[in-house]
Amino acid sequence: MAIHLYKTSTPGTRNRAVDSQVKSNPRNNLIYGQHRCGKGPRGIITARQRGGGHKRLYRKIDFQRNKKNIYGRIVTIEYDPNQNAYIYLIHYGDGEKRYILHSSETIIEDTIVSSTKIPIKIENALSLIRCKTSKIIAMAKGLLVVMVVTVITCGSRADHNVSFDKNYHVTWGNSHVISVNQGTEVHLRIDKASGAGFESNVGYASGFFQIKIKLPNKDFSGVVVAFYLTSDPDGKGGNHDELDFEFLGGNGPPFTLQTNVFANDKGGREQRFHLWFDPTSDFHTYGIVWNQHQAVFYVDKTPIRVFKNNTKIGVSYPSQQLVIQGSIWNGETWASGGRKIDWSQAPFVANFVGFGVTGCQFQSSASKDQCYISSPKLWWNGDKYLGLDPAQRKALQDARTKYLYDDYWILPIIESLIDVIG
Distance set, CA 144 to CA 86, 103, 137, 324 (Å): 11, 11, 15, 42
Distance set, CA 390 to CA 46, 97, 384, 397 (Å): 68, 55, 12, 11
Catalytic residue among 78, 185, 199, 246: 246
Confirm whether 415 is a catalytic residue.
no
State how far the Cα of 272 lies from the Cα of 265, in Å rounded to an integer: 20
Strands, E assignment, 105-181: 111-112, 114-115, 125-126, 136-140, 145-149, 168-172, 177-180
What is the Cα 160 distance to its own chain's centre?
A: 1
Catalytic residue among 185, 199, 242, 415: 242
Half-sphere exposure of 407 (CA within 13 A, CB side): 14
Distance set, CA 193 to CA 147, 216, 304 (Å): 53, 17, 35
Distance set, CA 256 to CA 2, 201, 274 (Å): 61, 29, 5
297 in Cβ contact with 305 (< 8 Å): yes
State how far the Cα of 78 lies from the Cα of 86, in Å rounded to an integer: 6
State how far the Cα of 15 lies from the Cα of 315, in Å rounded to an integer: 77
* Strands 323-330, 271-274: pairing kind: unpaired
226 in Cβ contact with 351 (< 8 Å): no
State how far the Cα of 387 lies from the Cα of 380, in Å rounded to an integer: 11
State how far the Cα of 272 lies from the Cα of 305, in Å rounded to an integer: 11
302 in Cβ contact with 217 (< 8 Å): no
327 in Cβ contact with 195 (< 8 Å): yes
- Of 168, 155, 176, 238, the closest CA to residue 204 belongs to 168
First vs last Cα of the chain: how many Å apart? 63
Give CB contacts under 8 A, 24+ apart, made by 87-94.
87/59, 87/61, 88/123, 89/27, 89/30, 90/62, 92/67, 94/70
Confirm whether 109 is a catalytic residue.
no
Positions annotated as catalytic residues are: 242, 246
